Amino acid sequence: MSDISFDRARRHVLGLGCERGTPSAEVLALAITALDAAGIGGAELAAIASIDSRRQEAAILAVVEHFSVPALFFDAPRLEAETPRLKNPSEIVFARVGCHGVAESAALAAIGPDAELLLSKIKSAHATAAIARIGLQKD
């Protein structure tokens, strides 16, 4: 689990993956589509997460800036640990980056064991997005 703070308003993490050099507009449009599909707004995001090899990727950083939330990046072994919880594991992604998914895995990894996928991976031409949320504590 990461050091981000969750509350009833901000309890979602947007996981993103993209090919190097993907236009920022494409990734931002996909992020907005993902939020719309999940029925949540940008104000409900606690963070955006991805693989550490995309730490300097302009398109992902543009989405982080757009939503004004922290960015979290995980190495491939940490993302691979999430494989049993993925809805859409990919052998192609594994061959390229060393884990079976980026968007779903990063969103789940950012929250930790209490995460659940709200929106499984969706795609654009060069990017992927998924949304995880932390379950509300039962009183």
Q: Where are the domains of the chain?
A: 12-134
Strand order in the sheet with 71-74: 71-74, 45-51, 12-18, 127-134, 115-123
pLDDT, tens digit, 9 for 90 and up, residues 30-89: 999 999 999 999 999 999 999 999 999 999 999 999 999 999 999 999 999 999 999 999
Instruction: Identify the DSSP state of 105.
Output: H
By the 8 A CB rule, do 20 and 127 touch? no
- Buried-exposed string 108-124: b where 16+ CB fall within 10 A, e elsewhere: bbbbeeebebbbbbbeb
Which phi and psi (to 5°) does residue 95 adopt?
Answer: -65, -30
pTM for the model stands at 0.93
Superfamily classification of domain 12-134: CobE/GbiG C-terminal domain (3.30.420.180)
